[in-house]
Protein backbone atom coordinates (compact mmCIF):
# COMPACT_ATOMS: atom_id res chain seq x y z
CA UNK A 1 0.00 0.00 0.00
CA UNK A 2 1.46 3.36 -1.02
CA UNK A 3 1.13 6.26 1.40
CA UNK A 4 -0.16 8.28 -1.57
CA UNK A 5 -3.27 6.09 -1.41
CA UNK A 6 -4.01 7.26 2.15
CA UNK A 7 -5.75 10.36 3.48
CA UNK A 8 -5.67 11.17 7.19
CA UNK A 9 -8.64 13.08 8.55
CA UNK A 10 -7.54 14.80 11.75
CA UNK A 11 -10.74 15.83 13.48
CA UNK A 12 -11.53 17.90 16.53
CA UNK A 13 -10.48 21.14 18.20
CA UNK A 14 -7.00 22.57 17.94
CA UNK A 15 -7.21 24.51 21.20
CA UNK A 16 -9.52 24.29 24.19
CA UNK A 17 -12.99 24.52 22.70
CA UNK A 18 -16.22 25.25 24.56
CA UNK A 19 -16.09 23.01 27.66
CA UNK A 20 -13.48 20.60 26.26
CA UNK A 21 -9.90 21.19 27.41
CA UNK A 22 -7.19 20.53 24.83
CA UNK A 23 -3.57 19.71 25.65
CA UNK A 24 -1.31 22.52 24.46
CA UNK A 25 0.54 21.72 21.23
CA UNK A 26 -0.99 18.26 20.83
CA UNK A 27 -2.53 18.90 17.39
CA UNK A 28 0.81 20.07 15.98
CA UNK A 29 2.36 16.90 17.43
CA UNK A 30 -0.41 14.89 15.77
CA UNK A 31 0.10 16.45 12.33
CA UNK A 32 3.89 16.23 12.51
CA UNK A 33 3.67 12.54 13.41
CA UNK A 34 1.57 11.87 10.32
CA UNK A 35 4.15 13.59 8.10
CA UNK A 36 6.88 11.48 9.71
CA UNK A 37 5.27 8.04 9.49
CA UNK A 38 3.17 8.53 6.35
CA UNK A 39 5.22 10.74 4.00
CA UNK A 40 3.25 11.48 0.86
CA UNK A 41 -0.14 10.95 2.48
CA UNK A 42 -2.71 13.73 2.39
CA UNK A 43 -3.81 15.41 5.62
CA UNK A 44 -7.26 16.94 6.01
CA UNK A 45 -7.75 18.97 9.19
CA UNK A 46 -11.43 19.12 10.10
CA UNK A 47 -11.97 21.54 12.96
CA UNK A 48 -14.06 24.50 14.13
CA UNK A 49 -14.20 28.12 13.11
CA UNK A 50 -12.03 30.62 15.00
CA UNK A 51 -9.32 28.12 15.96
CA UNK A 52 -5.70 29.31 15.86
CA UNK A 53 -4.08 27.33 13.03
CA UNK A 54 -0.65 28.96 13.26
CA UNK A 55 2.26 26.61 12.35
CA UNK A 56 -0.03 23.63 11.68
CA UNK A 57 0.98 21.47 8.70
CA UNK A 58 -1.98 20.16 6.70
CA UNK A 59 -3.02 19.92 3.04
CA UNK A 60 -6.72 20.75 3.24
CA UNK A 61 -8.79 22.57 5.84
CA UNK A 62 -12.43 21.89 6.63
CA UNK A 63 -14.11 24.37 8.99
CA UNK A 64 -17.29 23.11 10.63
CA UNK A 65 -20.22 24.91 12.22
CA UNK A 66 -20.58 23.95 15.87
CA UNK A 67 -23.76 21.91 16.49
CA UNK A 68 -23.34 22.26 20.26
CA UNK A 69 -23.76 19.56 22.86
CA UNK A 70 -26.52 16.96 22.91
CA UNK A 71 -28.55 15.61 25.84
CA UNK A 72 -28.59 11.81 26.10
CA UNK A 73 -30.14 11.32 29.54
CA UNK A 74 -31.06 12.99 32.82
CA UNK A 75 -29.64 12.45 36.26
CA UNK A 76 -32.03 11.45 39.01
CA UNK A 77 -31.87 15.03 40.35
CA UNK A 78 -33.23 16.23 37.00
CA UNK A 79 -30.03 17.74 35.56
CA UNK A 80 -29.22 16.84 31.94
CA UNK A 81 -26.26 14.72 30.87
CA UNK A 82 -24.66 16.54 27.94
CA UNK A 83 -22.18 15.12 25.43
CA UNK A 84 -20.15 16.16 22.38
CA UNK A 85 -21.42 13.34 20.15
CA UNK A 86 -22.79 15.62 17.43
CA UNK A 87 -19.56 17.59 17.38
CA UNK A 88 -17.62 14.40 16.76
CA UNK A 89 -20.01 13.26 14.02
CA UNK A 90 -19.86 16.64 12.26
CA UNK A 91 -16.08 17.10 12.39
CA UNK A 92 -15.40 13.49 11.40
CA UNK A 93 -17.92 13.12 8.58
CA UNK A 94 -17.23 16.58 7.14
CA UNK A 95 -13.58 15.61 6.74
CA UNK A 96 -14.25 12.10 5.45
CA UNK A 97 -16.55 13.44 2.75
CA UNK A 98 -13.55 15.24 1.21
CA UNK A 99 -11.43 12.08 0.89
CA UNK A 100 -10.63 10.85 -2.64
CA UNK A 101 -7.99 8.19 -1.89
CA UNK A 102 -8.74 4.44 -1.54
CA UNK A 103 -7.75 4.32 2.13
CA UNK A 104 -8.35 6.73 4.96
CA UNK A 105 -7.68 7.23 8.64
CA UNK A 106 -9.85 8.95 11.21
CA UNK A 107 -7.55 10.39 13.87
CA UNK A 108 -8.45 12.58 16.83
CA UNK A 109 -6.65 15.90 16.94
CA UNK A 110 -5.32 15.02 20.42
CA UNK A 111 -3.83 11.64 19.44
CA UNK A 112 -0.76 10.99 17.30
CA UNK A 113 1.13 8.27 15.43
CA UNK A 114 4.06 6.39 16.97
CA UNK A 115 4.48 3.91 14.08
CA UNK A 116 2.80 2.70 10.90
CA UNK A 117 1.93 -0.74 12.32
CA UNK A 118 -1.73 -0.24 11.38
CA UNK A 119 -0.80 -0.69 7.71
CA UNK A 120 0.17 -4.33 8.21
CA UNK A 121 -2.62 -5.01 10.70
CA UNK A 122 -5.21 -3.93 8.16
CA UNK A 123 -3.88 -6.46 5.63
CA UNK A 124 -2.82 -9.33 7.90
CA UNK A 125 -6.30 -10.78 8.59
CA UNK A 126 -8.07 -11.02 5.21
CA UNK A 127 -10.31 -14.02 5.82
CA UNK A 128 -14.04 -13.40 6.30
CA UNK A 129 -17.19 -15.36 7.00
CA UNK A 130 -20.46 -14.60 5.24
CA UNK A 131 -22.50 -13.81 8.34
CA UNK A 132 -22.28 -10.23 9.63
CA UNK A 133 -20.01 -9.21 6.76
CA UNK A 134 -20.60 -5.51 6.27
CA UNK A 135 -17.35 -3.94 5.03
CA UNK A 136 -15.18 -4.47 1.96
CA UNK A 137 -12.06 -4.93 4.10
CA UNK A 138 -11.16 -4.90 7.78
CA UNK A 139 -11.09 -1.59 9.65
CA UNK A 140 -8.38 -1.21 12.31
CA UNK A 141 -9.40 0.28 15.67
CA UNK A 142 -7.69 0.58 19.03
CA UNK A 143 -8.92 -1.19 22.14
CA UNK A 144 -8.98 1.92 24.34
CA UNK A 145 -12.68 2.03 25.31
CA UNK A 146 -13.39 -1.03 23.15
CA UNK A 147 -14.73 -2.68 26.25
CA UNK A 148 -15.39 -6.34 26.84
CA UNK A 149 -16.62 -5.55 30.34
CA UNK A 150 -18.27 -2.56 32.03
CA UNK A 151 -19.53 -2.39 35.60
CA UNK A 152 -18.03 -5.87 35.93
CA UNK A 153 -20.37 -7.42 33.35
CA UNK A 154 -19.97 -8.28 29.65
CA UNK A 155 -21.02 -5.55 27.22
CA UNK A 156 -21.65 -5.65 23.46
CA UNK A 157 -21.10 -3.26 20.53
CA UNK A 158 -18.73 -1.23 22.74
CA UNK A 159 -16.37 -0.06 19.98
CA UNK A 160 -13.82 2.71 20.51
CA UNK A 161 -14.39 5.93 18.56
CA UNK A 162 -10.77 7.16 18.73
CA UNK A 163 -9.09 5.75 15.62
CA UNK A 164 -10.25 4.09 12.40
CA UNK A 165 -8.13 2.96 9.45
CA UNK A 166 -9.36 1.09 6.39
CA UNK A 167 -10.97 1.43 2.99
CA UNK A 168 -12.43 4.91 2.65
CA UNK A 169 -15.96 3.67 2.00
CA UNK A 170 -15.78 1.45 5.10
CA UNK A 171 -14.53 4.21 7.39
CA UNK A 172 -17.20 6.57 6.04
CA UNK A 173 -19.81 3.90 6.79
CA UNK A 174 -18.69 3.99 10.43
CA UNK A 175 -19.51 7.70 10.66
CA UNK A 176 -22.27 8.32 8.14
CA UNK A 177 -25.21 8.83 10.49
CA UNK A 178 -27.75 11.54 11.33
CA UNK A 179 -27.12 13.87 14.24
CA UNK A 180 -28.40 12.78 17.62
CA UNK A 181 -31.60 14.37 18.84
CA UNK A 182 -31.86 15.37 22.49
CA UNK A 183 -33.40 12.79 24.78
CA UNK A 184 -36.90 13.89 25.81
CA UNK A 185 -37.94 12.76 29.27
CA UNK A 186 -41.44 11.34 29.66
CA UNK A 187 -43.46 10.00 32.57
CA UNK A 188 -42.74 6.43 31.48
CA UNK A 189 -39.08 7.14 30.67
CA UNK A 190 -37.95 10.05 32.89
CA UNK A 191 -34.19 9.47 33.04
CA UNK A 192 -32.83 7.29 30.24
CA UNK A 193 -33.87 4.50 27.95
CA UNK A 194 -33.71 1.18 29.78
CA UNK A 195 -33.78 2.68 33.30
CA UNK A 196 -32.80 1.50 35.93
CA UNK A 197 -30.05 0.13 33.68
CA UNK A 198 -27.49 2.74 32.72
CA UNK A 199 -27.68 4.58 29.40
CA UNK A 200 -25.83 2.89 26.60
CA UNK A 201 -22.30 4.23 26.35
CA UNK A 202 -21.55 6.90 23.73
CA UNK A 203 -19.34 4.44 21.88
CA UNK A 204 -22.14 1.86 21.81
CA UNK A 205 -24.60 4.44 20.57
CA UNK A 206 -22.35 5.68 17.74
CA UNK A 207 -21.49 2.14 16.68
CA UNK A 208 -25.12 0.99 16.66
CA UNK A 209 -26.31 4.03 14.71
CA UNK A 210 -23.62 3.45 12.09
CA UNK A 211 -24.20 -0.28 11.75
CA UNK A 212 -28.00 -0.18 11.64
CA UNK A 213 -27.76 0.78 7.97
CA UNK A 214 -26.53 -2.78 7.41
CA UNK A 215 -28.65 -4.69 9.92
CA UNK A 216 -31.44 -3.54 12.23
CA UNK A 217 -30.38 -6.22 14.73
CA UNK A 218 -27.92 -3.66 16.09
CA UNK A 219 -29.91 -2.37 19.07
CA UNK A 220 -29.55 -2.04 22.83
CA UNK A 221 -31.88 -1.02 25.65
CA UNK A 222 -29.08 -0.14 28.07
CA UNK A 223 -25.38 -0.43 28.82
CA UNK A 224 -25.75 -3.95 30.23
CA UNK A 225 -28.20 -5.31 27.66
CA UNK A 226 -26.04 -8.34 26.94
CA UNK A 227 -28.06 -11.48 26.24
CA UNK A 228 -26.24 -14.39 24.61
CA UNK A 229 -27.64 -13.74 21.14
CA UNK A 230 -26.33 -10.15 21.17
CA UNK A 231 -22.97 -11.24 22.53
CA UNK A 232 -22.52 -13.72 19.68
CA UNK A 233 -23.64 -11.16 17.09
CA UNK A 234 -21.24 -8.56 18.50
CA UNK A 235 -18.35 -11.04 18.54
CA UNK A 236 -18.97 -12.11 14.94
CA UNK A 237 -19.23 -8.50 13.78
CA UNK A 238 -15.98 -7.56 15.52
CA UNK A 239 -14.15 -10.57 14.03
CA UNK A 240 -15.45 -10.11 10.51
CA UNK A 241 -15.18 -6.34 10.04
CA UNK A 242 -12.52 -5.01 12.40
CA UNK A 243 -9.05 -5.60 13.78
CA UNK A 244 -8.82 -4.67 17.47
CA UNK A 245 -5.43 -4.11 19.12
CA UNK A 246 -3.96 -1.88 21.80
CA UNK A 247 -2.65 1.58 20.87
CA UNK A 248 1.01 0.57 20.87
CA UNK A 249 0.32 -2.41 18.60
CA UNK A 250 -1.63 -0.18 16.20
CA UNK A 251 0.89 2.66 16.34
CA UNK A 252 -1.12 5.29 18.21
CA UNK A 253 -0.10 7.60 21.02
CA UNK A 254 -2.72 9.02 23.38
CA UNK A 255 -2.85 12.49 24.90
CA UNK A 256 -2.13 12.87 28.62
CA UNK A 257 -5.86 12.79 29.40
CA UNK A 258 -5.99 9.13 28.40
CA UNK A 259 -2.39 8.10 29.04
CA UNK A 260 0.08 8.06 31.90
CA UNK A 261 -1.92 7.77 35.13
CA UNK A 262 -5.42 7.84 33.62
CA UNK A 263 -7.55 4.89 34.77
CA UNK A 264 -8.13 3.74 31.20
CA UNK A 265 -4.36 3.28 30.79
CA UNK A 266 -3.75 1.55 34.11
CA UNK A 267 -4.03 -2.21 34.50
CA UNK A 268 -7.48 -1.88 36.07
CA UNK A 269 -8.80 -0.13 32.99
CA UNK A 270 -6.86 -2.04 30.35
CA UNK A 271 -8.00 -5.51 31.39
CA UNK A 272 -11.66 -4.53 30.87
CA UNK A 273 -10.93 -3.94 27.17
CA UNK A 274 -10.81 -6.43 24.34
CA UNK A 275 -7.22 -7.66 24.04
CA UNK A 276 -5.56 -8.26 20.66
CA UNK A 277 -5.13 -11.97 21.43
CA UNK A 278 -8.81 -12.21 22.34
CA UNK A 279 -9.76 -10.59 19.06
CA UNK A 280 -7.50 -13.10 17.30
CA UNK A 281 -9.47 -15.86 19.03
CA UNK A 282 -12.64 -14.43 17.49
CA UNK A 283 -10.93 -14.23 14.11
CA UNK A 284 -9.90 -17.89 14.30
CA UNK A 285 -13.38 -18.94 15.46
CA UNK A 286 -15.43 -17.06 12.88
CA UNK A 287 -13.13 -16.28 9.95
CA UNK A 288 -10.07 -18.52 9.67
CA UNK A 289 -10.01 -21.84 11.57
CA UNK A 290 -6.49 -22.47 10.24
CA UNK A 291 -5.10 -19.30 11.83
CA UNK A 292 -2.23 -20.18 14.18
CA UNK A 293 -2.96 -18.45 17.46
CA UNK A 294 -0.01 -17.90 19.76
CA UNK A 295 -1.71 -17.24 23.09
CA UNK A 296 -0.06 -19.08 25.95
CA UNK A 297 -2.01 -20.62 28.80
CA UNK A 298 0.07 -18.48 31.16
CA UNK A 299 -1.04 -15.26 29.43
CA UNK A 300 -4.68 -16.34 29.45
CA UNK A 301 -4.54 -17.23 33.15
CA UNK A 302 -2.81 -13.95 33.98
CA UNK A 303 -5.53 -11.96 32.23
CA UNK A 304 -8.27 -13.95 33.95
CA UNK A 305 -6.72 -13.39 37.38
CA UNK A 306 -6.35 -9.66 36.69
CA UNK A 307 -10.03 -9.51 35.79
CA UNK A 308 -10.89 -11.42 38.97
CA UNK A 309 -9.04 -8.72 40.88
CA UNK A 310 -10.08 -5.58 38.99
CA UNK A 311 -13.19 -6.29 36.88
CA UNK A 312 -15.53 -8.98 38.16
CA UNK A 313 -15.93 -7.67 41.76
CA UNK A 314 -17.67 -4.61 40.31
CA UNK A 315 -20.68 -6.81 39.49
CA UNK A 316 -21.66 -6.94 43.16
CA UNK A 317 -21.26 -3.18 43.61
CA UNK A 318 -23.18 -2.58 40.40
CA UNK A 319 -26.20 -4.56 41.62
CA UNK A 320 -26.28 -2.39 44.73
CA UNK A 321 -26.08 0.81 42.67
CA UNK A 322 -28.89 -0.27 40.36
CA UNK A 323 -31.08 -0.93 43.40
CA UNK A 324 -30.19 2.51 44.79
CA UNK A 325 -31.10 4.16 41.48
CA UNK A 326 -34.52 2.59 41.63
CA UNK A 327 -35.02 3.52 45.30
CA UNK A 328 -34.11 7.17 44.66
CA UNK A 329 -36.76 7.36 41.98
CA UNK A 330 -39.38 5.97 44.35
CA UNK A 331 -38.40 8.50 47.03
CA UNK A 332 -38.39 11.40 44.57
CA UNK A 333 -41.87 10.50 43.38
CA UNK A 334 -43.39 10.47 46.86
Please say if the pLDDT value at position 326 is more than 80.
Answer: no
> What is the structure's pLDDT at 264?
80
Q: Using one digit for the tens of pLDDT, what is the confidence trace for 13-47? A: 997 555 666 777 899 999 999 999 999 999 999 99
Convert the chain into a string of H (helix), E (strand) and C (coil).
CCHHHEEEEEECCCCCECCECCCCCHHHHHHHHHHHHCCCCEEEEEEECCCCCCCCCCCEEEEECCCCCEEEEECCCCCEEEECHHHHHHHHHHHHCCCCCCEEEEEECCCEECCCHHHHHHHHCCCCCCCCCCCCCCEEEECCCCECEECCEECCCCCCCCEEEEEHHHHHHHHCCCCCCCCCCCCCCCCCCCCCCCCCCHHHHHHHHHHCCCCCCCCCCCCCCCCHHHHHHHHHHHHHHEEEECHHHHCEECCHHHCCCCHHHCHHHHCCECCHHHHHHHHHHHCCCCCCCCCCHHHHHHHHHHHHHHCCCHHHHHHHHHHHHHHHHHHHCC
Mean pLDDT of 299-325: 90
> What is the structure's pLDDT at 256?
84
Rounded-to-10 torsion of CA 271, 237, 218, 139: 80
**pLDDT category, 124, cuts 50, 70, 90?**
very high
> What is the structure's pLDDT at 330?
60
Question: How many angstroms separate the CA atoms of 44 and 42, rounded?
Answer: 7
Mean pLDDT of 313-328: 81
> What is the structure's pLDDT at 75?
87
> What is the structure's pLDDT at 135?
98
Question: How many angstroms separate the CA atoms of 272 and 147, rounded?
Answer: 6
Please say if the pLDDT value at position 121 is more than 80.
Answer: yes
Please, are residues 38 and 58 in contact by the beta-carbon 8 Å criterion? Answer: no
Query: Maximum CA pair distance of the chain?
Result: 66
Q: Which residues contact 78 (CB under 8 A, 6 or more apart)?
A: none
Q: Using one digit for the tens of pLDDT, what is the confidence trace for 188-225? A: 888 888 888 888 999 999 999 999 999 999 999 999 99
Counting residues of the chain whose pLDDT is more than 70, the rounded percentage is: 95
The CB density around residue 323, as the number of other CB atoms within 10 Å, is: 11
Please say if the pLDDT value at position 260 is more than 60.
Answer: yes
Please, are residues 57 and 41 in contact by the beta-carbon 8 Å criterion? Answer: no
The CB density around residue 68, as the number of other CB atoms within 10 Å, is: 10
Question: How many angstroms separate the CA atoms of 277 and 6, rounded?
Answer: 27
Please say if the pLDDT value at position 316 is more than 70.
Answer: yes
> What is the structure's pLDDT at 20?
62
Average pLDDT of the chain, as a whole number = 93
Which pairing describes strands 149-150 and 70-74: parallel, antiparallel, or unpaired?
Answer: unpaired
197-218 burial, b if ≥16 CB within 10 A, otherwise e? Answer: bbbbbbbbbbbbbbbeeeeeeb
Mean pLDDT of 159-184: 96
**pLDDT category, 327, cuts 50, 70, 90?**
confident
Highest mean pLDDT: which range of 48-57, 79-88, 218-227, 232-241 = 232-241
Q: Using one digit for the tens of pLDDT, what is the confidence trace for 263-311? A: 788 899 999 999 999 999 999 999 999 999 999 999 999 999 999 999 9
Q: Which residue has the higher pLDDT, 264 or 171?
A: 171
> What is the structure's pLDDT at 152?
94
Please say if the pLDDT value at position 334 is more than 60.
Answer: no
> What is the structure's pLDDT at 24?
78
Domain that residue 145 falls in: 3-332
- pTM value > 0.85: yes
> What is the structure's pLDDT at 16?
58
> Which residue from 24, 20, 27 is spatially nearest to 112, judged by alpha carbons?
27
Report angle CA 246, 303, 131 to the nearest 5 degrees. 60
Q: Using one digit for the tens of pLDDT, what is the confidence trace for 126-148? A: 999 999 999 999 999 999 999 99
Please say if the pLDDT value at position 314 is more than 60.
Answer: yes
- What is the number of structural domains in the chain? 1
Please say if the pLDDT value at position 125 is more than 70.
Answer: yes
> What is the structure's pLDDT at 188?
80
Amino acid sequence: MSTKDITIVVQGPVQTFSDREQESGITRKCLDSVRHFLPGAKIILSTWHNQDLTDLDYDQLVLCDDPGTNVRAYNIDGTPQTFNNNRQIISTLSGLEQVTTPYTMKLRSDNYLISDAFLDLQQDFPKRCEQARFFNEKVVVINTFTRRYAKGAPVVFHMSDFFYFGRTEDVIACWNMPLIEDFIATKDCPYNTGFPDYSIDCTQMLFIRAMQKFDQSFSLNGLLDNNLEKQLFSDRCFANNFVIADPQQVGIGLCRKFAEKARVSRTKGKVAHWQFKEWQQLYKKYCDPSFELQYSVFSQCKLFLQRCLYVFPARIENKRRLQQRQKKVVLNNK
